[in-house]
Chain A
């Protein structure tokens, strides 16, 4: 089975540019999560979706961040305009809710550098 697929793996761009990160969850999973990892703050949940609907976006740091899930197999996280402090590794994860909670499966992440 293919795991969670994120693209691009690395992104380097200049401050002020728009950045779009992409995620394809595992087929059949009904939850999708976006996380950010930095040395200072560790792993933080930004937003999560259930059946393509955003449930909690309280972790999104600012209005410059937005996320969408137009269908069950695709999600985007957009930063516009980007700033140097947005530099981090962004992870997407997905899971399936059966009778019991199932593990979250993570992609390999997008390493974002804003110059």
Chain B
């Protein structure tokens, strides 16, 4: 059974800092991995999807990396802004069952 761990659970940084969120998973047999953000009282917004054959995916100030063999992914946020404040969740897709397994998330606060 896939287990996903996200570290840190919470993070508070001043505006403008670059930061890294970490995700580890136990079963490396995945098809892809998604990073989501969740704002309070809202649904999940997909940020990046990395296919298992890729090592990196970029969108604007966001860069996600994937090391499937070691069961790790990182989300790098450059030049953080207060609008980046949200909970960030990673979810590997265990393709045989077409299921996303979610970590408990990292709650990010960017202070102005």
Contacts and interface: CB of A to CB of B under 8 A. Distances in A.
A100 B102 contact: no
A18 B98 CA distance: 30
Main secondary structure of the interface of A (DSSP, over half): strand
A104 B46 contact: yes
A18 B31 CA distance: 37
Given A105-B46, A106-B44, A43 B89 contact: yes
Contact of B93 (A56, A101, A105): A101
B81 interface: no
Interface in B81-112: 89, 93, 95, 97-105
A79 to B, nearest CB: 20
Given A42-B102, A45-B100, A103 B46 contact: yes
Contacts of A105: 46
Interface in A48-72: 48, 50, 55-56
A104 B98 contact: no
A101 B46 contact: no
Contact of A103 (B31, B34, B101): B34
Interface in A70-115: 91, 93, 100-109, 111
B102 A101 contact: no
Nearest to B35: A103
B104 A42 contact: yes
Contacts of A33: 100
